[in-house]
Amino acid sequence: MATLGIVLKNSFHKLDIETTLSPGATLKSQEDSRYSSCQERWVGYQCNCYFISSELKTWKESRDFCASRNSTLLQMHNKDELHFMKLSKYFYWIGVTYSAEHSAWVWEDGSVVSQDLLPNSQTANPMTCVVYGRANGIWDEPCTSKNMYICQQQLI
C-alpha cells in the first residue's frame, strides 16, 4: 500500500495542472520555484504574479484592491504579454487612465502608453480608463463602470 502511494504521488507530481482563474481565463501551472513566492490564488508567469479577478469593481476600486496586495493594475508592454489567457469574452481593468496634464494615456506609474498598444481611436477623456479583453482588444470605458481586473506583481 505504501509503495502504491509513493508511485501515485510521483506520477501526479509531474503533471501540468490546469487552474481556472476566472470565467474564461485559464493557465497551465508549472512547478517552478520562481513562482512559489506568488500569493495564494495568484498565478506566476514570466517573472510576475498575476491576480485575475472574478468580481466586478470600478477602476479606482480595482486599483485600490491591487495596491492593498502590494501590486498594481496590469501594465502591459505588448498585446501578446498575456497570451496565457484563453479567448475570453470578459473585459478587465488594466492600469491605464487618460491624463489631461500630459494630454496622453498613461500607466499608473505616469509613463505614457505606447501607440502600438493603444490605437488613436481611444477617446481622449479624463473620465475614461482602459479595459483589456483577450478576444476584443483594448477599449476605453468610463472609470465608474464595473469590470473585472488584473493585478500584477513583479517577482524581481
| pLDDT at res. 18 | 31
47 within 8 A of 155, measured Cβ to Cβ: yes
pLDDT recorded at residue 80: 64
Q: What is the DSSP letter of 114?
A: P
Q: What is the CA radius of gyration of the chain?
A: 18
pLDDT tens, the chain, 156 aa long? 333 333 333 333 322 223 334 444 444 444 444 446 898 889 888 788 999 999 999 999 999 999 999 999 998 876 666 665 665 678 899 998 888 888 888 898 888 888 777 765 556 677 889 888 876 678 888 999 999 999 999 886
pLDDT at position 62 is 98
130 close to 118: Cβ distance less than 8 angstroms? yes
d(CA 90, CA 54): 10
What pLDDT sits at residue 36?
64
Residue 43 pLDDT: 87
What's the pLDDT score for residue 97? 87
Which domains are assigned to the chain?
2-154 (3.10.100.10)
pLDDT at 92: 92
CA distance 69 to 152: 10
Task: Kindly give, in sequence order, each residue whose CB lies less than 8 Å from that of residue 44, ignoring residues fewer than 6 positions away.
Answer: 32, 34, 35, 36, 38, 50, 155
CA–CA dist 109, 88 (Å, integer): 27
Indicate the burial class of 20 (C-beta count within 10 angstroms; 0-12, 13-18, 19 or more): exposed
Separation of alpha carbons 65 and 24, rounded Å: 21
